[in-house]
A = this chain, B = another copy of it.
């Protein structure tokens, strides 16, 4: 039947996937990171240029795509490796929150904005979008070098800190700071993460083979993995952190118990959906709000501040490892991607963040995301030929 399903879904899939892959290929040939091409494909298809695709048409595929990306990355990471780098990662995350928050707040106060809006801009500059960095590192087979592990661990901690900052700022906006509720939220999210990292992997190693053996359906291990992925994504949001953190922890918990077949099948979903995540970031950009020269100037300043503050803050936190790794970690924490936009949306929903400021935050989020792959390529160049842990087979997620 011609009306069955209709052309709308396959057309959106074709436009976004096709354009992302073609622009990725062009960037690859120009010796630029292809991930930047895929993000810019979204800018081209979105409101800024062609206006052919609306963000909400592909929002579910984008959300699922970044969940699978983090799940796949988790499958390559051992919980013990993350715990080992926990101390350094905590310092990296903490300085990576304080420096950008302070700079964003200060700049907005300087422009004459009110206190609360400035706090929201600061909060929007806090959250790292680990998806972008994970994609770049995975595509280079560099997930298992020390700097990458610290970035991943710091991104998890960063998400928890970002949650707390957002909760504080939101309750200040509403004029009531409920310390008990804030403590509960923080405790829940930290508890969930520590529980999954410490108990999760061992439980899976003990439990999974037994359940798997008793199931009769085809590809039952993959089905179990998917159920764990979705369950932890749900639990994570209930605990207050992002669904992708749950997806990542599901991957880590399964890393040592799941067959290669599950990796391949999950990889198929990742390959299909990640371009929607990347292009989805670009789709959100609407350059028309930046026509006003004053807004454009603020956007430029905020964007530069966002890059510098994360790079310097996180780099400082990792100085104990020496300059090369500090640079790598600083670069890896730069992208804000979709997370910064969500904070700005909440502020807009509360009537605190103006349309112009929202446009500024979106530009900052997109630009940090475009710059990060370039910084990563430069800072990780010397490692690309010689991974520091030859036992680990590098994988390609791209």
Contacts and interface: CB of A to CB of B under 8 A. Distances in A.
Interface of A: 1-7, 9-11, 13-14, 17-18, 21, 24-25, 28-29, 34, 60-61, 63-64, 66-67, 127, 139, 159, 162-163, 166, 185, 215-219, 222-223, 226-227, 230-231, 233-234, 237-238, 240-244, 246, 264-269, 271-272, 338-339, 342-343, 345-346, 396-398
B28 A216 contact: yes
A233 B269 contact: no
Contact of A342 (B3, B66, B217, B233): B3
Contact of A237 (B2, B24, B238): B2
A1 B230 contact: no
A10 B218 contact: no
Contacts of A246: 10
A342 B396 CA distance: 41
A10 B67 contact: yes
Given A234-B10, A342-B3, A17 B226 contact: yes
Contacts of A216: 25, 28-29
Given A21-B227, A227-B21, A267-B268, A60 B9 contact: yes
A339 to B, nearest CB: 6
Contacts of A396: 218-219
A35 to B, nearest CB: 10
Contact of A234 (B7, B61, B231, B397): B7
B264 A4 contact: no
Q: Max chain B CB contacts within 10 Å: which of A13, A216, A396?
A: A13
A244 B4 contact: yes
B243 A398 contact: no
Contact of A2 (B2, B18, B163): B163
A393 to B, nearest CB: 15
Contacts of A242: 1-2, 4-5
